[in-house]
Amino acid sequence: MNRVLTEALGLIENSFDRFLFAYGVNDYGAAYDAFIQALSVDAGIAYPFFLTRSGGHLSRILRHTGKAAELAVWLDTLLARFPTMHLLWVGDTASTRRLIDLRESNIQKGLPSIVVATLPKSASISVANIFNSGFNLPSFAYSLADTEIVESWTRDYARGGACHVTHLLPTRKNISRLKSCGVDRLIVHVRDPRQALLSWVHHVVRYPASLPHLLRAGFQENSMADRIEAVMETYIRDIQWIEGWLDAEEEIQIKFSRFEDFVQDRAAFIRGYLDFYGAPEQFFSMQDALMAHAGTDYHYRLGLTDEWRTVVPPKQAERLSAWLPQRLRQRFGWTD
C-alpha cells in the first residue's frame, strides 16, 4: 500500500479498536460513532475492514441504535466515489485489482451473482463456500450487514459474477429493493430453530466476546437451562426470520434449503442449488465447493440435526416446540 492508504488504514484500525471497546461495554452509541468515524476517513477501506472482522457486532449495533436505514441511504451515495467499497476484501492494490478482474471474467462467462440468506448457526460459511469456491465468485456486498439493502451496491451486484451470504432481514423494503435493482431470485437456507438455538448457546460459550454482557452475567458458569433462557430472544427472532421469508415467496422467487439436507447428502444439496440458479456448470468445481480451506473458522461444532431432543431440559424442549408454528413444522418437516 502507498503512504496515503497506509495512514488511512492506521486511522481506521484506531477507530476499530474504539468500536470493539465500546461494544464490549455495551455502549452501542459510541461503537456506532467509531464506525462512522472510520467511514469518514475512507469508506472504501473502512466498510470491508469492519464487516469482514466484526459483521455480527455491526449488525447488533445497528439493531440497537436504529441507525441502519439512515446509514444505508448515506452509503448508497458513496459507491461512485469509492467503487470498491462493497468488495469484501482489504489488501494491496494488486490483490484488489485481481478480484475485480476475476468478477468481470465471471460475468463474461455468464455466471450470475448469487444471493443467499441463511439462518444464523445453519452452516452459513460452508454454504457460502459452495458458490464462492465452487464457481470462484468473489464477495461483494449488496446490503449493510444483514439489515438494509443498499441500492447502488445491489444494482452493481446484479450484473453477475459474485456471491455474498448474509442473514438478510426479510423486510418488505428489502424485498422491494432487491427486485427493483435486478435481483429476481435468491436462496434462503434454514435449520430447525430449536437446534439452531442450542448451537447458538455453544457459540456464545466458545466466542464469549460475541455477547459480552452475557459473559459478565455469568453465562459460562450457568446451567444449560439458564443459558437457553438467556438467549431465548434469539429463538423468537429466528422463527420470525423464517416466517418473514415464507411471506416473501409471494414477492420474489425463493429456493428454501434445509441444514438437515445439507448434512444428509451434500452432493444432492449442491445439485439443487445448481439447478435453481442454472449457472454454466462447466465453470463449477464440486471438489472446490466441498473443500475446507485452511485458516477459515467455519464455526463447526457437531453438525447434528436433533441434538436438542436430548440436551435441552424436557420442560424447556416442550416450550420450544409449542412456540414453533405449525406452518414451519409442515413446510420443513420439523417434528416434536
Find the CATH number of the domain harbouring 301. Answer: 3.40.50.300
Q: Are 92 and 218 found together in one domain?
A: no
Distance of CA 118 to the CA centre of its chain: 7
Q: Which pLDDT score is estimated for 191?
A: 96
Low-confidence ranges of the chain (pLDDT < 50): 295-301
Dihedral sign computed on CA atoms, order 312, 315, 321, 323: negative
Residue 232: phi and psi, rounded to 5, are -60, -30
Q: How many domains does the chain have?
A: 2
**Domain shared by 180 and 234, yes or no:** yes
Averaged pLDDT score across all residues of the chain: 92
Residues 284-335 pLDDT 10s: 999 998 876 554 443 444 567 788 999 999 999 999 999 999 999 999 999 9
Closest alpha carbon to 132 in 79, 89, 83: 89
Same domain, 85 and 138: no
Residue among 304, 291, 307, 308 at smallest CA distance from 263: 304
The range of the structural domain enclosing residue 287 comes to 110-336
pLDDT, residue 251, reads 96
Check: CB of residue 84 under 8 Å from CB of residue 162.
no
Q: In this predicted structure, what is the pLDDT of residue 296?
A: 45
Same domain? For 150 and 277 the reply is yes
pTM: 0.92
Residue 175 shares a structural domain with residue 216: yes
